[in-house]
Amino acid sequence: MAFSIPESVWGQKVENKMQKNFSSRKKLSRTWEYIRRKWYKFSRNPLSIVGLALICTIIFSAIFASYISPHPESAGKFVNFSEASQSPSLAYLCGTDRFGRDVLTRIFFGYRYSLGMAVIVISIMAPVGIILGLIAGYYKNSWIDTVIMRITDIFIAIPPLILALAICSVLTPSIFNAMLAISVAWWPWYTRMVYEVTSSLKGEFFVQAAQVTGANTTHILFREILPNCMAPVLTKMSLDVGWVILIGATLSFVGLGAQPPIPDLGSMVADASSYLPDLWWEAVFPAFAIMLVVLAFNLFGDGIDDMLGEEKGG
Amino acid sequence: MMLMPLLEIKDLHVWFRVFKGFLKVLEGVNFVVWPGERVGLVGEMGCGKTTTMKAVMRILPMPPAIIPEGEILFKGKDILKMGRGELQEIRRKKISMIFQDPTAALNPVFKIGTQLRDTVRFARGSKRSITKGDIRTRTMQVLKEVSLPDPERILENYPIQLSGGMRQRICISMALISTNELLIADEPGTSLDVTIKDQIRRLLGGLVEKLGTSVILVSHALGAVRNMTVRVYVMYAGSMVEVAKTKALFANALHPYSQGLLAAIPRLAGGGVGEGIPGHIPEYINPPTGCRFHPRCKHTMPICRNKKPPFFKVEEGHQVACFLFQNRE
Amino acid sequence: METIKFIVKRLAYSILVLVGLSVLMFSIARVIPGNPARMALGPRAPEWTVQKLREEMHLEDPLYIQYYYWLKGALHGDLGMSLVTRRSVAYDIKEFFPASLELALYTGIFMGIVGIVLGVISGWHNNTWIDNSVRIVSYIGIITPSFVFAIFFVLIFGYILQVLPTMGRIPLSVTPPPRITGMITFDALITGNFALFFGTLKHLLLPAISLAMGPMSQEARITRTTLAGNMSKDYVAAERSCGLPERTIMFKYLLKPSLIPTISIYALDFAAMGNAFVVELIFNWPGLSRYGMNAMLRKDLNATVAVVMVYGILFMVVNIIVDLVVGFLDPRIRLGTKSRE
Amino acid sequence: MNKITKTLLISLFIVGTLFSWGPAGVSGRLLRGTWAWPTYIDPAVGSDFSSSIALIHLYDPLIYPDREMNPQPHVAKSWEVSADGKTWTFYLRPGIKFHNGSELTAQDIKFSMDRLTTIGEGYAFLFAERVTNTEASDKYTVVFHLKEPFAPFLGALYRFFIVNKDLVMANIKRPGPYGEMGNYGKQYLLTHDAGSGPYMVKKFAFEEYLLMTKNQNYWQPEYAQVNPFAPDEVKMYGTTEPITVRTMMARRELEFSDTWQSEEAFEALDKIKGVDITQYSTGNEWYLMLHTRKAPTDCIHFRKAIAWALDYKTLTKFFPDCPQARGPVPQTLPGADPTLLQYHRDLDKAMTELKQSKYYEQLEKYSLEFHWNGDVPVTEKVALLFMSNMADIGINVKIVKTPWLSIVEESARMHTSPNIAIINDAPQYPEAGSLLESRYKSDSAPTWEQNEWLLDPEYDTMVDDALKTIDQKERFAKYSKIQHDIMDLCPSIFMVELLMKHAYQATYMDGPAFRGEATPFMGYDLDSRFIKVYPEKQAELLK
């Protein structure tokens, strides 16, 4: 209750402005207000900021890996056995691996792959899942709904990791197939999510209004309903980046993901784990790298959640 | 003869921490209830009524709420400074509150019975001193008092299985369990449709008559207060603007805002703001200086802008916080 | 009555889904490039033995015929022969499943207790240092892949501190006890062999914890958020205003509604125990996940399909149970005025 | 809050009791090792590394090789071969008892051979095409009839293990793929033994471990006197997980490691107090197999160019202590020719060869497919080195990580086989002939043992002829001729003679393998009957 006070006050404040300003400036100030408001909600938790900062840094290091990394050649098919298995030093901040390749460099490039992987996977599976969900939800109880959701159920019937693994194991191991497998295993979760929102929204007034005013289905789906699903979807997407990276790492850990000499964080840990604890840096730093990027996206995702989710206490 | 007020709120301030600083929601609320007295508290939505009452029960969520200054004296003791034991004592035996929205006020995942029984148990002190039988009889009794049909079944029900009216009645019964000195009724029945609302109000009226306890009836509708209270406080934007005997107020409301309220009675019901008073409740983040009402006031004077008007006594028991009346004393 | 109808309906539906799943898995498994029979028999086996095996496995027939054979067998509890163990897959599952189940149980216990306790504590002390420290812990739990935990646990507790065993299920000197449930700790208790019980518990500790960390943190977080959210709900205020003691409110009126979301997450985490495969590999835990993992890596068709099916079934059953439990706990769902989120 | 503190206390208590329970004590003479699964203890199925070790423990061969790989009487106390080399007669030692007490007779041997060749898996390839029939002429005499003379037959017999006919017959399930023999007892022998060996299966936990216990009344009387310290129980774990192996070694929960650990892992193991590394040859050799029927490696000059361009010095560094190979046959193997040429890095020679190659003008058009074994880390190093070496003479290389199983797959077809595969191979009977046969004869072309696709009928006949030559001197002469021909053809690059390595607990165990005196033959090198374990010394170590 106490919180209805600031809320209502806000609404009124905005209207206040409306009365004074001209429509264009009103609009502007309104969006500006909106953004500031969102940003406040996002930034209220300092961790979200940390997450955002981390993400920016990681993305930067991934994009400019070839410029910022101390030994770019280490990313490719490169051997320098004279420098092999050096412990961390000024020359090699994170040491070198058994082939004399700079671990730090390989981490930077590794980010390139894992981020790319995550982005691609999500941009494949999310839209597919969302659209299917929208359609199924909108035509609830029709045969379309049945078909789509039954198929979805089949895919949801096993934990995604297992499914992804099963698929990977039959394909020839490669980063591409890993991505494929993860996408196949994950789209249904989006479908189900969107499906539930949509089917509940379907009865809502504004949807019916749109229907009455004779808006065509695509308009209703993408203009009326979709925006209302975006909050949970965006949150899930931002969190999923982390998960996809995790699963990717797990796949390559068992040798079903990216193949050498691609610098993949997961396989770096896997290979190096054989040489623990003597060559600890070979396993520890990539492991940290994985944790760092996942952490970043979790924090960020939570921030997005605070931002888009409805006001909760504190 | 000097008689001590049952409840006295002195210069109460409540702020809420939000982005961009604080919402200064209550700004020096003064409020008195005499034993056995029935007081009304009237004001627009969001003028701080509920906040004040929650402050009395000490159930404001803190943080974000903070109470920078002020005291709430119950029989001369400051509730804000009470230890847990005393406080519980007050909550269990002295004061109780009926919440605005019965649906939100009932725990959705427990049976009505469970919730009632626990209330009874603790209202009657520690677990040992009361037997299952007593609890049962007492529960039944209160349910009868709020004239709910078939209590047996209701006790076995979950809130969502009941209609809004029934829920409201449950809330009232819970309040009754732990009242014998002061009952705070926060806009009972607002969320219900008109007929039910009337029933509830009548029920409440009857009960109050029967119990003879003191009552604070909070409402945004003057009409509701009219026939159930002897004295009325008019609240605006976090402070009292006028207090008078109910009749007196209705006869001649002095504060421009009160007049506005009276003028707007029919349209006010259901919240929001009618044309009765142009404009809106100000934002609490940086509220208007001086009298918070001046932006909306017809007869704004320079002084209103920079000085917060204190209460001016117009006649016995009728005070107004408006500079129009400073020389009437 | 309602519940029974619900269960029956759900079960019937699950069977449909399972059939779909089996078709999916079967076709996935059968598109394997290369020659499983050759792989099974090893490089030096003469061609005619390979052919013999292919015929035994109906690998020469078209896919739908193969599926027909598979389904026919499956209905008689015969899931075909594993190419790696050279035994009937059904037998292998009987052999390996208890180990995984046992591991999952202890993981479940750990993540349940710790996760919820942490969550509740930090929920109560919302935005205090306790809260923050719990949040940090749970973040670490969430962002760390289970295999990283596993490796470093082996390293720290096994190699450096040398306090805990890091491979297998039972102490080396012990010969396995008579198989009753197949879950050694239970068998040990039944036979009253406490030395074995604790020995096995020691073996369970590391894998269980490395598996539990992630889900545990999830539950801690969920509990925390719901609890914190509910704390500012009106009914809490109401209960306070009725003078109910804090403890009653916290432990009774606040806990129940706040744990409902946690429970469903928890159950799903438990159902996803197949995710244990990496950990089982690292700890050499003779469980179904490890078996399935090897099957997949060695392209052991029948085993792969079977294992996935087992986990599929498990996942569904647990799902049904969750719905029942949650429905039982939350009348809003049971009385269908609110859809499960 | 109280409740929480309670739970915490309880959990603390539990953990406490956990640790307070001391480490499980070791009883008797226990020998524990690791190996790579899968392991098949059925003589008619098992053929790989771990299976071979298991078999020599559980079963008895007719004859047992000494350190020079000369056949010694074992189950057979004597034998003779007909002049044409087609009929081999063995006279059995009477009174040999199987684990179940029944006596080992000629019947069992006939049964074992028939079973092996019918099932056709495991080591059957040594006999299936050669032994036409086996007859038990009397209780203690058995005669093998061969299709054509096969000189190294005795060597092959080291891979022939005798199963208990009655026991197997009793456990046959019908119907099965083998007609009236049903499943030929495969199901049973998967987890049980039907042998007479010095050890018996106590528990076979698939993918986990094989637990064998000493056969107290083993028929070979002198064996007990030879080694009274032989382990009472042998437990082989199916893992090669480096951390695990290391941890267990450090905690004395493991007596010796598998041979599949990486160099770095072995170095680390060596650092553990009381743990040493042993190494010895079992005739393994690492090859770079060049596809002779795929451009550009089909050109002999091109191949020679590669051979000259490779940096053998660095290469051998990857395999510490392993000598550079000399020709297709490891020098430790009888019949190996010590006079063969050893390549070394010489870019000028490489260039001159390359210039003669028909591909010299269009090098950039080709890139060599180099498939390294994803399951053997060291091969990646070789691949990378190879790549940079070839770059020096302008040959570009594409290296591909390939799981072992896929390598096996590709090698089946000529067009799927890569230009270069890196594979190590071992003799199946202790003679040069074994490798010459399995590496380059046409019938091995579609297997992983040959990526060269030589398909040279002339070569086949030469090898067959050599194998038919009963007289050893003559035969070995023919072997060296063949080896020289191979060198001229340069179909492969002979990298190193691989040494088997094991980490072992030097302080409290001993055995031929760990003194480097092992019988240099896969499986026989780790025969526990010759291994000594001293638990008391171990106890001291643990203090």
Q: What is the pLDDT of residues B209-244, one digit of tens each?
A: 777 778 888 887 777 777 778 888 888 877 888 888
d(CA A269, CA A252): 9
The CATH number of residue C127's host domain is 1.10.3720
Window 252-271 of C: residues touching A by CB (8 A cutoff) are: 271
Tokens of A202: 């379907």
> A230 vs chain D: nearest CA distance in angstroms?
39
Nearest CA in chain A to C31: A170
Q: Examine residue C37 and state whether it is found in any structural domain, yes or no.
A: no
Q: Taking CB atoms and an 8 Å cutoff, what residues of chain D touch C44?
A: 47, 125, 447, 449
Please give the interface size between C and D, counted as residue pairs whose CB atoms are below 8 Å apart.
Answer: 143
Complete DSSP assignment for C265-324: HHHHHHHGGGGGHHHHHHTT--SHHHHHHHHHHTT-HHHHHHHHHHHHHHHHHHHHHHHH
Is D462 within 8 Å of D482 (Cβ atoms)?
A: yes
Query: Is the CB of A1 inside 8 Å of chain C's CB atoms?
Result: yes
CA B51, B55, B57: angle at the middle one, nearest 5? Answer: 120
**SS3 for A274?**
coil
Q: Examine residue C68 and state whether it is found in any structural domain, yes or no.
A: no
Window 235-264 of C: residues touching D by CB (8 A cutoff) are: 251
Q: Taking CB atoms and an 8 Å cutoff, what residues of chain C touch B158?
A: 331-332, 335
Residue D5 Cα to chain centre, angstroms: 58
Complete DSSP assignment for B156-206: HS-GGGS-HHHHHHHHHHHHHHT-SSEEEEESTTTTS-HHHHHHHHHHHHH
pLDDT at D298: 92
Complete DSSP assignment for A17-38: HHHHS-HHHHHHHHHHHHHHHH
Please give the interface size between A and D, counted as residue pairs whose CB atoms are below 8 Å apart.
Answer: 49
- Count of other CB atoms within 10 angstroms of residue D269: 23
Q: Examine residue C206 and state whether it is found in any structural domain, yes or no.
A: yes
CA distances from B18 to A44, B22, C229, C237 (A): 10, 6, 17, 20
| D and C make contact (3+ CB pairs below 8 Å) | yes
Contact A277 C160 (CB under 8 A): yes
d(CA D69, CA D88): 19
Q: Taking CB atoms and an 8 Å cutoff, what residues of chain C touch A2?
A: 232
> A273 vs chain D: nearest CA distance in angstroms?
7
pLDDT-derived band at A160, boundaries 50, 70, 90? confident
Residue percentage of chain D with pLDDT more than 90: 54
pTM equals 0.81
Q: Where are the domains of chain A?
A: 53-70+109-313
Question: Mind listing the domains of chain D with CATH numbers?
Answer: 30-274+506-542 (3.40.190.10), 281-499 (3.10.105.10)
Diameter of chain D by CA atoms?
Answer: 93
* Radius of gyration (C-alpha) of chain B in whole angstroms: 20
Any chains having at least 3 CB pairs less than 8 A from chain B are A, C
Across the beta sheet with D275-290, what order do the strands follow?
A: D396-402, D367-373, D420-425, D275-290, D492-505
What is the total count of domains within chain C?
1
CB-CB: which of D242, D384, D406 is closest to A274? D242
d(CA D460, CA D467): 11
Q: Examine residue C331 and state whether it is found in any structural domain, yes or no.
A: no
Residues in chain D: 543
CA neighbor of B177 nearest in space, from B217, B214, B135: B135
pLDDT in tens, chain D (543 residues): 455 666 666 665 555 555 444 444 446 889 999 998 788 999 998 888 899 999 999 999 999 998 888 899 999 999 999 988 899 999 999 999 999 999 999 999 999 999 999 988 889 889 988 999 999 999 999 999 999 999 999 999 999 999 999 999 999 988 888 888 888 998 899 999 999 999 999 989 887 889 999 998 888 767 777 788 999 999 999 888 888 888 889 888 899 999 988 888 898 899 999 999 999 988 899 999 999 999 899 999 999 999 999 999 999 988 888 999 999 999 988 899 999 999 999 999 999 999 999 999 888 888 899 999 887 888 988 998 998 899 889 898 888 888 777 787 788 888 889 999 999 898 989 899 999 998 999 988 888 889 999 999 999 999 999 999 988 899 999 999 999 999 999 999 999 999 999 999 999 999 888 988 888 888 899 999 999 999 988 888 887
CB-CB: which of D268, D374, D384 is closest to A77? D384
C234, C247, C325, C328, best to mutate vs chain B, most B CBs in 10 Å: C234
Nearest CA in chain A to C230: A313
Q: Taking CB atoms and an 8 Å cutoff, what residues of chain C touch D405?
A: 34, 39, 298-299
CA neighbor of B43 nearest in space, from B247, B313, B249: B249
Q: Taking CB atoms and an 8 Å cutoff, what residues of chain A touch D243?
A: 273-274, 276
Is A123 within 8 Å of A132 (Cβ atoms)?
A: no
Report the CATH architecture of A53-70+109-313.
Orthogonal Bundle (1.10)
Contact D243 A77 (CB under 8 A): no
Identity of residue A234: L
CA distances from D519 to A85, D484, D531 (A): 36, 28, 13
Q: Taking CB atoms and an 8 Å cutoff, what residues of chain C touch D448?
A: 43
pLDDT, tens digit, 9 for 90 and up, residues B206-218 = 777 777 778 888 8
Give the range of the structural domain holding residue C192, as residue numbers without chain letter: 97-299
Q: Examine residue C54 and state whether it is found in any structural domain, yes or no.
A: no
CA distances from A177 to A117, A166, A252 (A): 11, 12, 11
Contact A159 C275 (CB under 8 A): yes
pLDDT in tens, chain C (341 residues): 677 888 888 888 888 888 888 888 888 777 766 677 777 776 667 777 788 878 877 878 888 888 888 888 888 888 888 877 888 899 889 989 999 999 999 999 999 999 999 998 888 887 778 888 888 888 899 889 888 999 888 888 887 887 888 777 877 666 677 788 888 888 888 888 888 888 889 899 999 999 999 899 989 988 988 888 888 788 888 787 777 777 778 888 888 888 888 888 888 888 887 788 889 888 888 899 988 888 887 778 888 889 988 988 888 888 888 888 888 888 777 765 444 33
CA neighbor of D498 nearest in space, from D312, D290, D313, D287: D287
Which single residue is written with the structure tokens 């930090």? C122
Spatial CB neighbours of D176, under 8 Å, sequence gap ≥ 6: D182, D183, D184, D186
Which single residue is written with the structure tokens 């117009």? B314
Q: Taking CB atoms and an 8 Å cutoff, what residues of chain D touch C43?
A: 408, 447-449
Contact A166 C29 (CB under 8 A): yes
d(CA C288, CA C94): 9
Nearest CA in chain A to C138: A295
pLDDT, tens digit, 9 for 90 and up, residues A63-121 = 998 888 888 888 776 777 778 788 888 888 888 888 888 899 999 999 999 999 999 99
Query: Is the CB of A3 inside 8 Å of chain C's CB atoms?
Result: yes
Query: Is the CB of C156 inside 8 Å of chain A's CB atoms?
Result: no
Torsion of CA A122, A125, A131, A132, to 10 degrees: -150
Provide the β-strand partners of residue D203: D211
CA neighbor of C118 nearest in space, from C52, C187, C216, C193: C216
Window 45-74 of B: residues touching A by CB (8 A cutoff) are: 45-46, 48, 50-51, 54, 60-61, 63-65
